[in-house]
Amino acid sequence: MNQDLVDEKIFYEIQQFRQIWIWLIILIIVIVLYIPIISGVLNIFLSIIFFLFGFGFIWLFYSMKLVTEVKEAGIQITFTPFTNFIIPFNEIKNLEIREYRPILEYGGWGIRFNRTGKAYTVSGKIGLQVELFNGKKILIGTEKSDDLLKSLDNLIKV
């Protein structure tokens, strides 16, 4: 069997941290880190460390992305640069699109945990709630909830 057919993407969504308020917070943090460098308070070694930390912080947030793919094998979640896994359809007990409260339920966006399970979110408050047969729950944030649900309905009946 052709490998391209096995891995064919039925649904694909990429989300990144591009909200203005996040970048304003990052800018403030970097400015606070760079004030001692600019004012000459730190020696050259500490200045380089602060500079690299600030640059790394910016790079991390810029490169972070949540990719959700529905394939024949299951739902693949990639949260770059941290995790990449697939949820096989035979492990899924229930699926539903739901509105969630990111700060109250999970403490914010990103890869988050609470007593009921894990969440992989970048923005918004709509997600796909996946309940597994082992009792675990995974919430996947989405900005394309209708397309995601349609692609799943075409593949599985839960």
- List, run by run, the mean pLDDT of 10-residue segments along the chain (158 residues): 57 87 83 77 78 85 92 93 94 94 89 91 93 95 92 73
The predicted model scores a pTM of: 0.77
Are the C-beta atoms of residues 109 and 122 closer than 8 Å to each other? Answer: yes
pLDDT at 158: 46
Where is 57: in which H helix or E strand? helix 44-63
Where is 95: in which H helix or E strand? strand 92-99
pLDDT at 45: 80
pLDDT at 84: 95
Where is 3: in which H helix or E strand? helix 3-6
Residue among 58, 64, 56 at smallest CA distance from 123: 64
Domain ranges in the chain are 18-63, 66-155
Are the C-beta atoms of residues 97 and 127 closer than 8 Å to each other? Answer: yes
pLDDT at 36: 76
pLDDT at 5: 47
- State the Cα–Cα distance between residues 4 and 12, nearest whole angstrom: 15
Residue among 124, 102, 100 at smallest CA distance from 111: 102
- From residue 7, alpha-carbon distances to 72, 76, 158 in Å are 7, 11, 22
116-149 core/surface letters (b: 16 or more CB in 10 A; e: else): ebbbbbbbbebbbbbbeeeeeebbbbbeebeebb
